[in-house]
């Protein structure tokens, strides 16, 4: 009888330990989800922070969002449709970045006269042509026989995107842990005429 009582006590102790472990794992999961929700809320509440770096280049800073794949499909359906065109499997998606840019500025160049000979070679016309360019933009073309402008333009840009991570410290001041405290992303346009009007960085959480 005593033997069975000991076995029962041991089984009850194991069951209690398993319950405590499951509850601890559930609490940790709830805490992690609450932390993700908090960080996402803070990132959404913050506007894109614009600032200048060396050489007067335009830059922007934004907090990172963390979404599950299903949340990403739900809240960013337009982006998902673009991802499909890349033939990328959704389960392989790790992050997605979108940026809105506006490029404007002043540019100088030449307006020159050019000789135009029509196919029938009857009347030789003088037409006006434009040739303006700098390191980031060029516009070249001439008016046609009807006086309408026809030409080509080229606009160039170069973006640098940097993600930084701050990790939590044990007791908030000792060694670093593997838990993320804050994640921010900076984007810099190397074109001095470009302004970053919108910027979003989303991490796809795998569950």
80-98 pLDDT, tens digit each: 888 888 888 878 888 888 8
Pick the residue with more confidence: 181 or 119? 181
Q: Is the pLDDT of residue 203 over 80?
A: yes
What's residue 45's pLDDT? 44
133-174 pLDDT, tens digit each: 888 888 898 887 777 888 999 989 988 888 888 787 777 777
49-61 pLDDT, tens digit each: 777 787 778 888 8
Cα–Cα dist 108/105, whole Å: 10
Q: Structural domain boundaries of the chain?
A: 1-45, 47-104+157-205, 109-154
């Amino acid at each position: 009888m005593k033997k069975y009582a000991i076995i029962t006590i041991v089984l009850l102790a194991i069951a209690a330990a398993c319950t405590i472990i499951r509850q601890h794992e559930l609490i940790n999961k709830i805490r992690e989800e609450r932390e993700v929700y908090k960080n996402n809320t803070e990132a959404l509440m913050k506007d894109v922070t614009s600032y200048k770096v060396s050489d007067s280049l335009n830059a922007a800073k934004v907090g990172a969002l963390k979404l599950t794949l299903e949340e990403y499909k739900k809240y960013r359906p337009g982006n998902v449709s673009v991802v499909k065109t890349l033939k990328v499997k959704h389960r392989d998606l790790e992050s997605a970045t979108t940026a809105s840019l506006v490029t404007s500025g002043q540019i100088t160049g030449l307006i020159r006269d050019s000789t135009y000979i029509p196919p029938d070679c009857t009347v030789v016309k003088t037409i006006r042509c434009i040739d303006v360019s700098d390191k980031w933009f060029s516009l070249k073309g001439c008016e046609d026989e009807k006086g309408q402008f026809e030409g080509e333009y080229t606009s160039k840009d170069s973006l640098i995107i940097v993600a930084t991570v701050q990790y939590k410290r044990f007791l908030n001041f000792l060694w670093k842990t593997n838990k993320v405290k804050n994640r921010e992303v900076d984007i810099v346009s190397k074109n001095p005429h470009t302004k970053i009007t919108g910027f979003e960085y989303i991490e796809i959480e795998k569950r």
